[in-house]
Structure 1
Amino acid sequence: MVASIILLALPASALAAQNQDPDWPCVQRKVPELSLGQIWNGPDLPASAADWSTDPDIPDLVRELAARRVPIPEAEQEIRDFAAALPKDRAQEQLAKLFQGLFDHMNNERAQVMSGIGRYARNQVQLAARLRKEGSEVDALSAKPDADHAEIARLTDRLVFETRIFEERVQSLTYVCEVPTLIEQRLYALAKVIAEEMKEK
């Protein structure tokens, strides 16, 4: 029984990732950082776009637009409203700063999520090894002629409980693995609207 619990739990973890990074457990291919070329198809960005964090209007807007609690259509409309309120002689520069800010902020957020996924996966590997060890110990104990059946039952119950936790964490990891892709998709959608607004100015 114990052996079957471990055998069922471990393959479900999908920890043997098909990537070169052994700590990357997701089905999605690991791309550590995004590049501007992947996301941006608008006009060339001026050098001043890099100074977005010191602009009085941009940082708060970046944080608001990047937040996944804000539906993408609402965020897109916020960008259009922001662009409509800009003086014509400042529109290109401010929109460029907005995109650069979103790119820097969301790329960093995505990297932090991916780092967390790696730590999560390493913890799962360690937990899987401990479950295997405990399972082997319970099997060895059960094989003894003078085995304490009450102790075996207690250890088995604990192993079943820990295996359930392991499987729940596997399920959580499946959802967490989607987050970098969701961030990338959101950034691309917002960048598209900014590029459209810049072309109209």
Structure 2
Amino acid sequence: MNGKAAILLLVAALASAGAAPGADSDWPCAQRLVPRLTAAALWPGLAPEGDWRAEPEVAALVGRVTPRVVPERDGVAAIERFAAPLDPPARRRLLPLVFAGALDEANRLRDGLIEQIRRFARRQRDLAEGVRRLEAELRAMPADAGPAREELEQRRAFAAKAFTDANTTVRFACEAPVRLEARLGAYARALAAALPTD
């Protein structure tokens, strides 16, 4: 595909880059925006009660398993190691608090990610408008405008590349909240499995 055809395809994509009617124009992701995760969606029974930060061993575990860099399997293994030596009353008291802490931290991390994605979306709108403006200028400029047209074509190509590169970043960023939610679900399942059944 030549450069001109690629630009025409990009302009067509820009025309549909806006949000669907009634949608949040600052949310560019295909995934539905879920502003906050709730215990009801992930935790069996009643929502955990109490201050997880008041239990030093719980707070320490939450601090180990919730950073974004921690792989899900490592977090689940840490939860299983934490639960293994606990007697049933301690499990009933502490494991729901671990979930409450993991939920709080997941929401805190997701808040930052969602705001970052919203900033990306606003930047994308600005980039799209810039490409549209340059495309309109090119259409209005005579084909024999010489160096001035070449310079404008180069600016349009740079703006189009910036838009395309940013789109790749946005698609990757959109997966981050989903990965956090999936990891929290795995933690909830590990914690629930360790709860006493009697």
Contact 1:12-1:170 within 8 A present in 2 as well: no
The runs of 5 or more residues in structure 1 that have no matched partner are none
Given the superposition, is the C-alpha separation of residues 9 and 46 from structure 1 closer, same or farther in structure 2, using an over 3 Å criterion? closer
Q: Kindly state the Cα deviation for residue 187 of structure 1 after the two structures are TM-superposed.
A: 0.4
Counterparts of 1:15-30 in structure 2, within 5 Å, are: 15-18=17-20, 20-30=23-33
Unpaired segments ≥5 residues, structure 2:
none
2:37 is the counterpart of 1:39: no
Q: Distance in 2 between matches of 1:132 and 1:45?
A: 50
Matching of residue 168 in structure 1 with residue 189 in structure 2:
no
Q: Residues 11 and 105 of structure 1: is their aligned pair in 2 closer, same or farther, counting only changes over 3 Å?
A: farther
- Does structure 1 residue 197 correspond to structure 2 residue 194? yes
TM-score, normalized by length of structure 1? 0.84
| Partner in structure 2 of residue 125 of structure 1 | 125
Number of paired residues? 195
Gap change, CA 1:58 and 1:7, over 3 Å in 2: farther
Deviation at 1:90, TM superposition (A): 2.7
Once residues 121 and 48 of structure 2 are traced to their aligned partners in structure 1, the CA distance between those partners, rounded to angstroms, is 40
Give 4+ residue runs of structure 1 displaced > 6 Å after superposition.
none
**RMSD value over aligned CA atoms?**
2.5
Instruction: Work out the CA distance in 2 between the residues paired with 1:2 and 1:16.
Output: 24
2:185 counterpart residue number: 188
Q: Check 1:30–1:194 CA distance in 2 against 1; reply closer, same or farther (3 A cut).
A: same
Q: Which residue of 1 aligns with 2:75?
A: 75
Which segment is superposed worse, 183-192 or 62-71? 62-71
TM-score normalised to structure 2 length: 0.85
Relative contact order (C-alpha < 8 Å, sep 6+): which is higher?
1
2:159 counterpart of 1:159: no
State which drifts further: 61-70 or 126-135: 61-70
8 Å CA contact retained: 1:15, 1:121: no
